Amino acid sequence: MYINNEIGTIQPVKEIGAIAREHNIVFHTDAVQALGNVSIDVEELNIDLLSVSAHKIYGPKGIGALYIRRGVKIIPFIDGGAQERKKRAGTENIPAIVGFAKACEIAERDLQAHVEKLSKLRDELIDKILGSIDEVKLNGPRDNRHPGNVNVAFKYIEGEALLLMLDAVGVAASSGSACTTGALEPSHVLMSIGLGHEIAHGSLRLTIGDFTEPEDIDFIVENLVRIVKTLRAMSPLYNA
- As annotated, the active-site residues are 179
210/56 Cα distance (integer angstroms): 11
Quick count: other Cβ atoms within 10 Å of Cβ 13?
22
| 208: three-class secondary structure by DSSP | coil
User: Is there a contact between 15 and 32 (Cβ–Cβ < 8 Å)?
Assistant: no
Phi-psi region of 206 (alpha: psi -120 to 50; beta: other; left: phi over 0): beta
List the alpha helices (DSSP H) in the chain: 13-22, 83-86, 94-109, 111-132, 159-168, 188-192, 197-200, 214-233, 236-239
Q: First-to-last CA distance in the chain?
A: 40
126/145 Cα distance (integer angstroms): 12
Burial (Cβ within 10 Å: 0-12, 13-18, ≥19) of residue 61: exposed
